[in-house]
Amino acid sequence: MAEEKFLAHKSEDEREQTIQQHLNGTANLCAGFAAVFGAEDQGRLAGMAHDLGKYSAAFQRRLRGSPERVDHATAGAAECGKMGQWCAAFAVAGHHGGLPDGGGKGDHPEDTTFCSRMKRAASGKLEPYDTWQQEVALPAIPQRTFSGPLEEMFFTRMLYSCLVDADFLDTETFMAGDALERGGGDPMEVLEDKLRSYLSRWSSPETELDRERCAVLERCTEQGEHQHPGLYTLTIPTGGGKTTASLAFALRHARTHGLRRIIYVIPYTSIIEQNAQVFRDILGDKNVLEHHSGILYDIADEARPENARLARATENWDMPVVVTTAVQFFESLFANRSSQCRKLHNLAQSVIIFDEAQMLPVPYLRPCVFAIAQLVERYGISAVLCTATQPALDGVFREFLPDKPAVELCPPEAVHQEIFRRVSFRREGKLSWESVAEQMNGQKQALCIVNSRKNAQKVYGLLDKEGAFHLSTLMYPAHRKAVLQEIRARLKDGHPCRVVSTSLIEAGVDVDFPAVLREEAGLDSILQAAGRCNREGKRPAGESIVTIFQGETLPPSLFEIPVAAGRWALSCCDRPDSLEAIQCYFQELLDLKGPEALDQKDILSAMKRDYMPFQKIAERFHLIDNDTKTVYIPLGAGEELIGRLRSGERSRGLFRALGQYGVSVYPPHFEALTGDLEMLEDGSAILNNLELYDNSTGLSLAVDSGRGIFL
């Protein structure tokens, strides 16, 4: 082997890349990525060490066609370990299979933990790879110190991100023969000019509301220049132009301080789709990446060649503006797989805006706040918690960022709250569903939001049929979109339109009703519902009534604590939309849930207790508990997609598209449907009996399965 070239890769056209070439290329990229957060030395070491195991004869045989399996990652990790560089060692160990759990001294050498792999290396059980020393010199670097295991794990994951992205990019460039088009987009000063041009239409505001929106916009722009990177809140009443104001702050802030990108983290895809389109309209398609489960960029689509660049950008977020979900964002920050972690280093030196911040998931609130605090403290970001109803998170942030309290970009004294008040609230006490329907039938256009899918169907069944609509997650997404399109058209044209919905319509869905009824819920939900009433401010607030009522049945268990906290806030404050009521609500909500409920899966304690438990944390951290099963509905375009599924196609693109025709149901409902389902190997199913899917209300809740009626 001494006279042979040691190869890292061979391309399809028989070109060869030596290990030395690949290590140097990866190390240069990795060092550059890590330099953004002051870790250039660690990045270079990880890049130079990651493929040292490829110097083994076994790996060289495999590259030339041998079927043998070779662990080439442990060797480089062991070399980093000998230097005491444990963060780099973990990154190298996980660069193919994912960051492992640290384990402990008692682990067996054949286990999969980091400690067991180091034992394997120390006992000489790896394929010999010593020839690396003939070609490669690992840089001696100083030790990095950390305040504790939480900070060390976070840094390791960020370093891992740099390594796996650098490894992918260097390999991709070699295999393709040249660097593929990635990222790109305009610099921040150009993007700000685009925003200024777009907003020129606001240069002569005619109404009091528009003048106030302009004042908010101007203040946010000024704050973007004057404030240094840190933690901020942006509390703007509904209708205050929050989307453009936050973008104005972000662009000026990024331009002033040399920050690299703007990332919007949004709770629901319905809001993402709306906001991403606004950003594309302002900044141009090439500058905005929309990344969530509901969108797929087909690299092979010859009609839209730009999709290849966007598809590659989803891998590492190398774009000026990224719009994504809270699920995608936070689960990536606690993941251990390269596909999820690869983008993380591109969060450093960014403006990250958490839209609808009141919807940060309470069961994971402390881990999420910890992650935001780390990014602010160590990675040069500015975090903006943006909402009309600011949650009371001061105490949680103080735990992780004691020296950097949040600064409000638009304090109450700078906003004329009364100008943004477009509704009046009325409390009705307990109402029967018949009374609710009677109130709706007495109005030409009205929206009612209830807490359960079952009750939504009940109220819908009592409505006059002309202009009556139902919305819930029992309808597949493409069906809901079509119904919403019809609802918007009827509202605009002044036709009868009475809608009963579950809370899904509260999540930033752009509709404007003259009257809204909301079953008791958390105060944040009530205020979100109020945002669907007189949204455009075209009617007097006194004539735009939001009715809060108690339904016939007890709230589902999920809503019990928010309902109780909401009742308390309403009993303490005259106006549900006052800042006092909002603060009272969120404080009561957190008190009722208790501190243990803010880290329900014991994420942070496990990180402190165990040694670098990367895999364990990744398995625990799921914002959406996946205890539902999907039923695909073969209607509309779903029929053709399901036909492809039945013919054996199992592509990622197909399942992405099928998501628009799937209904998620809980196990008892799924079991009751079993006799009418075609089961698939992944546990999902296809609905065979289309009589169980109603064109108005979606998948039936009343299923006669021979075992009783499921409700």
pLDDT band at 301 (very low <50, low <70, confident <90, very high): low
Structure tokens at 203: 């240069």
Whether residues 347 and 446 share a domain: the answer is no
Residue 275: partners with Cβ closer than 8 Å, 6 or more residues away? 243, 264, 266, 323, 355, 508
Question: What's the first-to-final CA gap in the chain, in angstroms?
Answer: 70
What is the SS3 assignment for 483?
helix
| pLDDT at position 709 | 30
Whether residues 360 and 214 share a domain: the answer is yes
Round to whole Å and give the CA distance between 700 and 672.
Answer: 11
Share of the chain above pLDDT 70, in %: 96
Residue pLDDT, tens place only, 134-182? 999 999 999 999 999 999 999 999 999 999 999 999 999 999 999 888 8
Largest Cα span, the chain: 90
Whether residues 430 and 410 share a domain: the answer is no
Tell me phi and psi for residue 587, to 5 degrees. -65, -45
List of E strands, 578-645: 629-632
Q: Pick the closest to residue 183 from 303, 51, 317 (CA basis).
A: 317
In this predicted structure, the answer to whether residue 396 has a pLDDT above a threshold of 80 is yes
What burial letters (b/e) apply to 654-663, b meaning 16+ CB within 10 Å? ebebbbbbbb
What is the SS3 assignment for 202?
helix
Round to whole Å and give the CA distance between 413 and 537.
Answer: 22
Tell me phi and psi for residue 314, to 5 degrees. -65, -20
- The average pLDDT across 250-264 equals 98
Is residue 349 assigned to a domain? yes
Round to whole Å and give the CA distance between 704 and 60.
Answer: 62
Q: Report the relative pairing of strands 288-291 and 261-266 from DSSP bridges.
A: unpaired
Mean pLDDT, rounded, of the chain = 91
Is residue 624 assigned to a domain? no
| pLDDT at position 708 | 28
Round to whole Å and give the CA distance between 368 and 361.
Answer: 8
Round to whole Å and give the CA distance between 591 and 666.
Answer: 30
Round to whole Å and give the CA distance between 642 and 650.
Answer: 11
| Domain CATH for 485 | 3.40.50.300
Residue at which a domain ends, from 148, 176, 204: 176
Round to whole Å and give the CA distance between 37 and 69.
Answer: 36
Whether residues 385 and 301 share a domain: the answer is yes
Q: Report the relative pairing of strands 350-355 and 382-387 from DSSP bridges.
A: parallel
Helix ranges restricted to H, 477-545: 477-493, 523-530
Whether residues 30 and 143 share a domain: the answer is yes
Whether residues 18 and 146 share a domain: the answer is yes
pLDDT band at 246 (very low <50, low <70, confident <90, very high): very high
| pLDDT at position 294 | 66
In this predicted structure, the answer to whether residue 18 has a pLDDT above a threshold of 90 is yes
Q: Pick the closest to residue 630 from 694, 673, 690 (CA basis).
A: 673
| Identity at 283, one-letter amino acid code | L
Residue pLDDT, tens place only, 324-352? 999 999 999 999 999 999 999 999 999 99
The 10 Å Cβ neighbour count of residue 193 is 14
What is the SS3 assignment for 234?
strand
Round to whole Å and give the CA distance between 462 and 27.
Answer: 67
Is residue 356 assigned to a domain? yes
Return the half-sphere exposure (C-beta side, CA atoms, 13 A cut-off) of residue 591. Answer: 12
| Identity at 136, one-letter amino acid code | V
pTM for this prediction: 0.88
- Please check whether residue 579 is in contact with residue 414, taking contact to mean a CB–CB distance below 8 angstroms: no
Is residue 183 assigned to a domain? no
Whether residues 136 and 246 share a domain: the answer is no
- Please check whether residue 437 is in contact with residue 233, taking contact to mean a CB–CB distance below 8 angstroms: no
Domain interval for residue 94: 7-176
| pLDDT at position 270 | 66
Rg (alpha carbons) of the chain, rounded to whole number: 28
Whether residues 672 and 549 share a domain: the answer is no
| pLDDT at position 79 | 98
Q: Pick the closest to residue 85 from 47, 35, 130 (CA basis).
A: 47
Report how far Cα 94 is from the mean position of its chain's Cα atoms.
24
* Poorest-pLDDT segment among 114-123, 332-341, 454-463, 593-602: 593-602
Q: Pick the closest to residue 266 from 365, 369, 385, 350 (CA basis).
A: 385
Residue at which a domain ends, from 538, 554, 576: 576
**Per-range mean pLDDT, top range of 180-184, 246-250, 562-566:** 246-250
Round to whole Å and give the CA distance between 692 and 699.
Answer: 6
| pLDDT at position 303 | 54
Residue 590: partners with Cβ closer than 8 Å, 6 or more residues away? 362, 392, 395, 598
Is residue 588 assigned to a domain? no
Whether residues 212 and 351 share a domain: the answer is yes
What is the SS3 assignment for 372?
helix
Structure-token match 């799924």, residue found: 670
Is residue 615 assigned to a domain? no
List of E strands, 372-473: 382-387, 407-408, 424-430, 445-449, 468-471
Helix ranges restricted to H, 320-421: 326-333, 338-341, 365-378, 394-400, 417-420
- The average pLDDT across 297-306 equals 64
The 10 Å Cβ neighbour count of residue 115 is 20
Residue 245: partners with Cβ closer than 8 Å, 6 or more residues away? 213, 216, 217, 220, 234, 236, 410
| pLDDT at position 256 | 97
Q: Pick the closest to residue 27 from 174, 183, 165 (CA basis).
A: 165
Q: Is the dihedral of CA 46, 47, 49, 50 positive or negative?
A: positive
Is residue 63 assigned to a domain? yes
Whether residues 491 and 466 share a domain: the answer is yes
Residue pLDDT, tens place only, 43-61? 999 999 999 999 999 999 9
Is residue 606 assigned to a domain? no
Whether residues 405 and 431 share a domain: the answer is no
Whether residues 408 and 461 share a domain: the answer is no
In this predicted structure, the answer to whether residue 297 has a pLDDT above a threshold of 80 is no
Structure tokens at 83: 């230097």
Q: Pick the closest to residue 700 from 678, 681, 676 (CA basis).
A: 676
The 10 Å Cβ neighbour count of residue 176 is 10
| Domain CATH for 97 | 1.10.3210
Round to whole Å and give the CA distance between 48 and 52.
Answer: 8
What burial letters (b/e) apply to 639-649, b meaning 16+ CB within 10 Å? eebbeebeeee
- Please check whether residue 338 is in contact with residue 98, taking contact to mean a CB–CB distance below 8 angstroms: yes
Structure tokens at 532: 């669907």
Residue 609: partners with Cβ closer than 8 Å, 6 or more residues away? none
In this predicted structure, the answer to whether residue 710 has a pLDDT above a threshold of 50 is no
Number of domains in the chain: 4
Q: Between residues 388 and 19, which one has the greater pLDDT?
A: 19
| pLDDT at position 706 | 32
